[in-house]
Every structure is written in C-alpha cells, then in structure tokens.
C-alpha cells in the first residue's frame, strides 16, 4: 500500500466509524490538526485512491439537497491501519513557523525580536485554552486520544512557561548590558 501523509489519518478516523470527507475534515480540525493537519485538497483525492485500492468503501447518500459519499473501512483497510500502527518507521517532524522566525530573529531590532517571543508565549496560551476546552467537553475520549490531548496540554504549558522565562532572561540581560 502506498501511504501519503493523510492515509493514516483517514484510515484511523474511519476505524472509529463511517464518515464523509467533510466529516473527516471536521474531526481533523478538532483533533489531529494540532499535530497532524489535513486539507480538503489532500483528503478527497486520498479517499478516492483508498477506495480504488479496496481499503475503504464508499456509499452515496443524501444530506438534504446535497449528495455526499460516506466511507467505511474494509477488512483490508483495517489490516493496513494495523500494519501502519505496528510499523517500525517513526517520523518525528515538527514544522513550527514561530520557531523558524525566532531562529532568524537576530536580523531584527531587539524589541521586535522580543515581540516574536512574546507572540509565541501568547500562542501557547491560546492553544492551551483551546485544548482545555476540548478536555472540558462532555463525554469520554478513548484512552490514547486523551493521552495525546494531555501531551498537548503539558507541551503548551511548558512552552508558555519557557517563553516567559526566556523573555525575563533576555530583558534582564538588556538592562544589565
């Protein structure tokens, strides 16, 4: 099976129940986008490809005046998901534009560079508020979904704290220099 960046997201979400492409994007936007995003431009072509490969099957249904196609995992798709879950390859790749800007912030006047760090702190705090709202919603998440949510909360708590500590350090260095 050829795997793209969105293959595991689609197979994983369909393992939780039948969904349309729109439904998949909605769930992604409330969950995995915090660490693994997927766009409509990735989802719909991948749904067609996975259906052609027999890993999922789709059925046309109506949703009011609109038609939609709802997909579910096949046995082959479930086996492919399990194979991916148990695979030996693990890629830990983080794309963080805020960190990239900080990396090059020496090109800015100091106050503007510090404002980038302040913006990152606020970003962590805003992200933390979103994750806490997800945590507070009614219902029980599966154990490992909750585990990832708790990682996100801890990471953003740490990130906000780290930014605050670095701001204090850099501002104190400025006043003592």
User: Is this prediction's pTM over 0.85?
Assistant: no
Structure tokens at 98: 């805020």
- pLDDT digits 0-9 by tens, 162-177: 999 999 999 998 776 6
Do residues 9 and 31 touch, judged by C-beta distance below 8 A?
no
In this prediction, residue 177 carries a pLDDT of 60
Closest listed residue to residue 155, CA positions, set 116, 175, 127, 113: 127
Assign domain 7-85 one CATH number from 3.40.50.720, 3.40.50.300, 3.30.950.10, 1.10.10.10. 1.10.10.10
Give pLDDT < 70 ranges for the chain. Answer: 176-177
Judge whether 6 and 64 are in contact, CB under 8 Å. no
- Residue ranges per domain, the chain? 7-85, 97-176
CB 104 within 8 A of CB 129: no
CB atoms within 10 A of CB 129: 11
Q: What is the pLDDT of residue 156?
A: 97
């Amino acid at each position: 099976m050829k795997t793209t960046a969105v293959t595991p997201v689609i197979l994983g979400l369909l393992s939780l129940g039948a969904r349309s492409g729109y439904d998949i994007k909605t769930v992604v936007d409330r969950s995995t986008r915090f660490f693994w995003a997927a766009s409509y431009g990735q989802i719909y072509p991948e749904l067609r490809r996975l259906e052609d490969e027999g890993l999922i099957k789709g059925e046309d249904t109506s949703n009011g005046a609109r038609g939609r196609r709802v997909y579910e995992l096949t046995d082959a798709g479930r086996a492919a998901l399990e194979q991916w879950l148990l695979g030996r390859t693990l890629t830990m790749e983080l794309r963080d534009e805020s960190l990239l800007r900080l990396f090059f912030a020496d090109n800015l006047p100091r106050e503007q560079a510090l404002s980038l760090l302040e913006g990152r702190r606020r970003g962590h705090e805003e992200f933390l508020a979103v994750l806490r709202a997800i945590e507070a919603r009614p219902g029980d998440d599966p154990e490992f979904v909750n585990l990832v949510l708790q990682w996100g909360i801890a990471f953003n708590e740490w990130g906000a704290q780290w930014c605050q500590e670095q701001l204090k350090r850099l501002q104190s260095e400025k006043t003592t220099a």
